[in-house]
Structure 1
Amino acid sequence: MNPTDLADRYFACIREKNIDGLAALYEDDATFILPDGRAFEGKSAIREMHLDVFAAGSPVPSPINKVVGQNSIAVEIEARLPDGTIRNTANFYELSSAGRIRRLSVYMRGG
């Protein structure tokens, strides 16, 4: 999968709360890093983290801007939280040669 298609599919799965579709986007040994520095290692741990986010009332992301590389993509995001507030973040994806997420780092603007 190319980086743009992967990012589009990722956000569709987040909006749909499609955990199986989301997990399929990750390599088995992928790493997911939150803005606070917490890292989740492996598809199983990443899946559980996403399930926790879904259970807590996940944000509804709207990609604003994408910067695409050969095996990477950075996406600026405006996410509406369940309480109606907006959070601005950026996701940085590193893809494997198979086109799945090897590493995803999330950064947040402001507090």
Structure 2
Amino acid sequence: MSPAELLDRWIEAFNAADADALAALYHDDAVNHQVANAPVEGRAAIHAMFAAEFAAAEMVCIPVNRMADGEWAAMEWQDPKGFRGCGFFHVVDGRIRHQRGYWDRLSFERLYASSD
């Protein structure tokens, strides 16, 4: 699977709040580092992270800009509440080896703390 195709599947699984489908896109020893948080290492831990996040908040990823080059895919995204960020995906052998995301944790907490 190319990085662009993988990004399409990632967005689809994320918007379906499907932690199983998301985890399947990562290598067993992958790292997901959302820079506002500590890195999460390993497919099982990444699955647990997504499951916990989907249980805590309804999240939607609307791609604004997308690109792919070589082993990399990247996107700028937003959600319906106006929260924005970007993500970088290093894809090796059709799976994510490393993901890094940048977003403002304080803005996230302000937008979603009132959702409780």
| TM-score of the aligned structures, taking structure 1 as reference length | 0.88
SS of residue in 1 equivalent to 2:35? coil
Residue 23 of structure 1 contacts residue 43 of structure 1 at CA under 8 Å; is this kept in 2?
A: yes
For residues 65 and 72 of structure 1, the distance between their equivalents in structure 2, rounded to whole angstroms, comes to 14
What aligned pairs does 1:36-75 form with structure 2 within 5 A after superposition?
A: 36-75=36-75
Percentage of identical aligned residues:
31
The C-alpha deviation readout for 1:19-40, integer Å capped at 9, x for no partner, is 2211110000000011314100
The amino acid that maps onto 2:25 is: L
CA RMSD of aligned residues (A): 1.5
| TM-score of the aligned structures, taking structure 2 as reference length | 0.85
For residues 21 and 34 of structure 1, the distance between their equivalents in structure 2, rounded to whole angstroms, comes to 19
1:108 aligns with 2:110: no
For residues 37 and 44 of structure 1, the distance between their equivalents in structure 2, rounded to whole angstroms, comes to 17
**The structure with more strand, counted as a fraction of residues:** 1
The amino acid that maps onto 1:29 is: D
Q: Which stretches in structure 1 are left out of the alignment for 5+ residues?
A: none
Which sits farther off after the overlay, 14-23 or 86-95?
14-23
Residue 32 of structure 1 contacts residue 41 of structure 1 at CA under 8 Å; is this kept in 2?
A: yes
Residue 64 of structure 2 contacts residue 77 of structure 2 at CA under 8 Å; is this kept in 1?
A: yes
Q: Which stretches in structure 2 are left out of the alignment for 5+ residues?
A: 108-116
> What's the offset of the Cα at 1:57?
1.7
